[in-house]
Amino acid sequence: MVKHQPLQVYERQLCLSCITGIYGCRWKRYQRSHDDTTKWELLWSFILLFTFCLLLVWFYFWWEAHNDYNEFNWLLYNRSGEWSDGTVPILATTAAGFTYVAFLMILALCHIALGQQLNLHWLHKIGVAAALLTTVVGVISVNQTWEQEWDIVPISLQATGPFLHMGALAAVTALSWIVAGQVARAEKPVFQVVVMLLYLSVLLGLYVVPLYITSPCIMDPSTLRPRPDVIGQRGAPMIAPENTFWSFHRSLQMNVTGFETDVTISVDGVPFLMHDLDLRRTTDVEKVFPERQTLNASSFNWTDLQQLNAGEWFLKDDPFWTVPSLSSSEKTKIANQSRPPPDHPHHHSWINDTLKVVQQSGIPQRLVMWTTDEQRAEVRQQAPGLIQTSLVKCSLQSLQQSDVSRMLLRYNRVSTNEVRNFSQSHIDLTLYTVNDPWLYSVLWCSGVSAVSSEAPHVLKKVPYPSWLMRPNEYCLMWVSADLISFAVIVGIFILQNYHIIRYRMSGMRSYNPEQIMLSASVRTSSRDVNVMKEKLIFSEVRNDIGADEEPYMDGYNYYTNQSVIRGV
């Protein structure tokens, strides 16, 4: 009589089926494998890892570049002539690509943790390749058109570096569970050594990286300088149309200490406020003067300029997504805005025209910054009280020789040390454009005296730097984090290799790794437990039958439920 006895009854493994099914379309048990990953699949794993890292940097770049979204849209406008928010499709595709690739990375780590063979499905390979190609094209495009914006990354790390370090340390510490499992299950000592060296190198780098993290916000709070003045750039252009009376009125409500604007001279010699070269973006010139819409703004006379509406475009385009938050009365005022007419007689020189307007306005000269280098000596003679300001970064000696007491620069043009040196030499710095609280906080801690902002309504809500930490407090924080991480990693490695360590410490010179693996998993069933059970059963059967006899096996497969042992 022949009995058919199943060797192993397998439990349903829904989680494992989902992991292998989503990653490689291996939904069935017989489709899965515990063999070593092929070289081709290893290559794709490295491509996936590289794509994830690149998308992580790309995503971080656009997250921190939020401060300069308007600058990016303005660059697109100069190229296309059409105003639109070009950051929306970039952010949408970046977020979607990063989420997709990060999900695949998590699935790949689950494969490694469970000892499953990596086999990325061809549809995912197409998706990863598309994400990689799109990101590379984006990086090249930004490098060609907006190269200076890459400086936002090291600047932002002054605000986020300590916290990103903690997050990276937590992630690498969590990965120790997978690394310890791989080392415990590895059969080749070379593989164990390589894995340990790579992991320990990354871990050691994270432990010492705080020595190279610098931030002006790591300082003694008692040395913090007064809050930087906020200058409204073209008024408050995020909540009112730029360079209009209502925009300047709204910025005054936000407690700004001054205005920054651009002056253009009309064809008949009247100064007016204009940032762009033409009038298409900020007026209805296409409707009033369609045949002249592409002409330079300075080619219009003052009579023509007074016919243009400078507020309807703001309600229509909503460039900063703020129109829904405006009241009905504010929308009515915005719709009726025009260019502010300065009250002054006509002169032949644009410098004289502008100076005359300043002198007739009643504004004290000590509150006006003159930034134009042309005929600076003549301006100093006619209006000696104006604050002579340079738009170019110069040496201290050059500034003192030119009698320039202030510089107006983009925020990425000076370092923290240069800010302190200029401050000690009584050279005030005004940096533009500062819209985000984190950047304002970093510049505040650096000692900047003033910033120019398109969002004074946002900076008004920043009464203190976003974070401030004493150097000894930061040192204590990262040393404690390193010690906790090290203790957790040591504990994980001991736990993962507990039974091997126990057998070695017990004085046993020989042991069966399969028995150790089997007894090491008494709580939960896993792939290794099932395989070890089957191997041990075969080992016992062989020992019972003897060396002269072999058990009768029919199509045995460790990973299917089709294996049987037949005996009489």
pTM of the prediction?
0.80
Cis peptide before 433 (omega within 30 of 0): yes
- The whole-angstrom separation of Cα 366 and Cα 387 is 6
- The whole-angstrom separation of Cα 279 and Cα 283 is 6
Give the chain's radius of gyration (CA, Å): 34
Q: CATH 3.20.20.190 residue ranges in the chain?
A: 229-335+366-460
* CATH number of this structure's domain 229-335+366-460, picked from the four choices 1.10.287.980, 3.30.460.10, 3.20.20.70, 3.20.20.190: 3.20.20.190
Reading the chain (568 residues) residue by residue, the pLDDT tens digits are 555 555 555 566 778 888 888 999 888 776 777 777 889 999 999 999 999 999 999 999 999 999 999 999 988 888 887 888 889 999 999 999 999 999 999 999 998 888 888 999 999 999 999 999 999 999 999 999 899 999 999 999 999 999 999 999 999 999 999 998 888 877 788 888 998 999 999 999 999 999 998 999 999 999 999 999 999 998 889 988 988 888 888 888 888 888 888 888 888 878 888 888 888 888 889 999 999 988 888 888 889 998 988 888 888 888 777 778 777 776 676 666 555 444 433 434 567 777 777 777 777 877 788 787 777 777 888 888 888 888 888 888 888 888 888 899 999 999 988 888 888 888 889 999 999 999 999 999 999 999 999 999 999 999 999 999 999 999 999 999 999 999 999 999 888 877 666 655 555 444 444 444 444 444 444 455 555 555 555 555 455 544 444 444 444 443 444 444 343 3
Nearest to 448 by CA among 155, 222, 231, 228: 228
- The whole-angstrom separation of Cα 433 and Cα 67 is 8
**DSSP code string of 319-374:** TTS-GGGS-HHHHHHHHT-----------S-HHHHHHHHHHHHT--GGG-EE---T
Residue 2's CB: how many other CB atoms inside 10 A?
8
- The whole-angstrom separation of Cα 207 and Cα 187 is 30
* Cβ-proximal residues to 436 (8 Å cutoff; 6+ apart), any chain: 66, 67, 455, 458
CB distance 337 to 241 below 8 Å:
yes
Q: What is the enclosing helix (H) or strand (E) of 310?
A: none
φ, ψ (nearest 5 deg) of residue 410: -70, 145
- The whole-angstrom separation of Cα 568 and Cα 2 is 5
